[in-house]
Amino acid sequence: MPKKYKLKNFDFLLVIFAIAISTYGIFIIGSAREAYQKRQSIGLLIGVIVMLIAAFIDYSTVLIFHWFYYIASTVLLLAVVVQGRGSHGATRWINIAGIQFQPSSMAKLLLILFFAKLIMKYRAKMKRTGVIFLMLGFFLPQWYLIYREPDLSTSIVFFLIFASMILIGGISWKFIIAVLSVTVPLSVLGIMLILSPNQEIIKGYQQDRILAWLQPDKYASTEGYQQQNSIVAIGSGMLRGKGYKNNEVGSVKNGNFIAEPQTDFIFAIVGEELGFIGSMTIIILDFLIVLEILKIGWGSSDMSGTLICSGVAAHIGFQTFMNIAVTTGLMPNTGIPLPFVSYGLTELICLFIEIGVVLNVGLLRERDNVRLFE
């Protein structure tokens, strides 16, 4: 191990939290769709290995190749357009050498690494309008490629990661206020246009999902079917749930009231089978993971380390919120996995790589912070 690494700076708690919630997810996947449990277990094993490798690779060295990450991410997203594989009305996957994966999951990781370096490079000029437009010039093409798959949910998370990083990077508040003064009215107008008949802004099924969220009774047997069943399932679990792998015919899992319960609506399975206690376990673990990441970022030896941590924290925090908001009816059904819990090998492995890079930021910090959890 290089002498500059201090083992006392290795955040074992972050590793424990990440492995704990992922293991929890494997058990829930086993109840939702047992056939996927073994594959997710393999994904966790691979994830832990790559996390430990990433944890001991100097992140400043990793960031040297930021242009490669941007080009690779763009090429993979373009490959989805050219030869992507579709499912349920969306084309989000590609197959290379017999391995099928989702480039948008990798794009979030590569986005964080690319902009951590780019923002660091232009840190002294971040208040200039020209630099902000330069950042947007690099961001928007990839954002659009994800949006057009279509993958509205990931495009939202993608934007929130970017927004969090440039905010931490020192963007001018005057610019933020100016943007908000324009985007808020435009957003209201956009929503009105989206809800109008024959609109061409978003796909028809996306519009139906928004309408189903606004008028659940009208769409209860069509577009709102899964979301309404999810809400009922979570409520029926009450405090302790109906029991892990229960055999109740009326459950959302056994009654097939939710399609692919191992992915976007896995929180409904947790709520029904393990109740409020089981649901809060996931929320608390994700909260602790985000808190530990922010703590590491606060103690980083340079701004690029802080930016990496802020991007990863934004990714996990916002995506967790969006998934749970959808399953509980606080947001329209956007179709987004629950970090560390939902089935998906690409997403899980990329998350562990992000955790590994964050761990390296912690190992290289110059000042020792008081641990948030002792």
Q: Which of 101-105, 223-227, 279-283, 327-331 has the highest mean pLDDT?
A: 279-283
pLDDT digits (tens, 9 = 90+) for 157-209: 999 999 999 999 988 777 778 777 877 787 777 667 666 777 666 666 666 77
CA torsion angle for 23, 29, 35, 36 (degrees, to 10)? -70
> What integer pLDDT is reported at residue 200 of this predicted model?
64
Calculate mean pLDDT across residues 215-233.
78
> What single string gives the DSSP state of each residue in 304-360?
HHHHHHHHHHHHHHHHHHHHHHHHTTSS-----PPTTTSS-HHHHHHHHHHHHHHHH
| Nearest alpha-carbon partner for 50 in 363, 362, 286, 359 | 359
- List the structure tokens of 147: 């949006």
* CA 95 to mean position of chain CA atoms: 22
| Nearest alpha-carbon partner for 306 in 59, 90, 5, 47 | 59
> What integer pLDDT is reported at residue 183 of this predicted model?
72
| Nearest alpha-carbon partner for 297 in 313, 281, 274 | 313
* Whether the predicted pLDDT of 3 surpasses 70: no
Of the pLDDT bands very low, low, confident and very high (cuts 50, 70, 90), residue 348 is: very high
Calculate mean pLDDT across residues 80-98.
73
pTM for this model (two decimals): 0.89
d(CA 215, CA 195): 12
Query: Considering the chain, what is the average pLDDT of its residues?
Result: 87
Q: Which of 89-103, 147-161, 292-306 has the highest mean pLDDT?
A: 292-306
* Whether the predicted pLDDT of 361 surpasses 80: yes
d(CA 145, CA 77): 6
Q: Which of 73-82, 256-265, 354-363 has the highest mean pLDDT?
A: 354-363
Calculate mean pLDDT across residues 118-131.
90
Q: Is the dihedral of CA 26, 29, 34, 38 positive or negative?
A: negative
Q: Kindly state the helix (H) or strand (E) to which residue 249 belongs, with its residue range.
A: none
Of the pLDDT bands very low, low, confident and very high (cuts 50, 70, 90), residue 372 is: very low
* Whether the predicted pLDDT of 373 surpasses 50: no
The conformation of residue 257, written as its DSSP 8-state character, comes to -
Distances (CA, A) of 17 to 21, 29, 282, 313, 322: 6, 18, 10, 14, 20
* Whether the predicted pLDDT of 7 surpasses 60: yes
> What integer pLDDT is reported at residue 335 of this predicted model?
79
Q: What angle do CA 16, 17, 20 make, to 5 degrees?
A: 80
* Whether the predicted pLDDT of 217 surpasses 60: yes
> What integer pLDDT is reported at residue 253 of this predicted model?
75
Any idea which of 110-114, 221-225, 301-305 has the lowest mean pLDDT?
221-225
Ordered strands of the 99-101 beta sheet: 85-87, 90-96, 99-101
Of the pLDDT bands very low, low, confident and very high (cuts 50, 70, 90), residue 151 is: confident
Question: CB of 13 within 8 A of CB of 323?
Answer: no
> What integer pLDDT is reported at residue 161 of this predicted model?
96
Instruction: Identify the three-state secondary structure at position 159.
Output: helix
> What integer pLDDT is reported at residue 369 of this predicted model?
47
Of the pLDDT bands very low, low, confident and very high (cuts 50, 70, 90), residue 307 is: very high
Q: Residue 361: which residues within 8 A CB-CB, separation 6 or more?
A: 59, 296, 297, 300, 305, 308, 309
Any idea which of 23-32, 207-216, 327-336, 350-359 has the lowest mean pLDDT?
207-216
Higher pLDDT, 332 or 311: 311
Question: CB of 74 within 8 A of CB of 141?
Answer: yes
| Nearest alpha-carbon partner for 112 in 362, 360, 358 | 358
Higher pLDDT, 85 or 374: 85
Q: What percent of the chain has pLDDT over 70?
A: 89
> What integer pLDDT is reported at residue 215 of this predicted model?
74
> What integer pLDDT is reported at residue 95 of this predicted model?
77
> What integer pLDDT is reported at residue 371 of this predicted model?
42
pLDDT digits (tens, 9 = 90+) for 8-22: 889 999 999 999 999
> What integer pLDDT is reported at residue 1 of this predicted model?
45
pLDDT digits (tens, 9 = 90+) for 248-290: 777 777 777 887 889 999 999 999 999 999 999 999 999 999 9
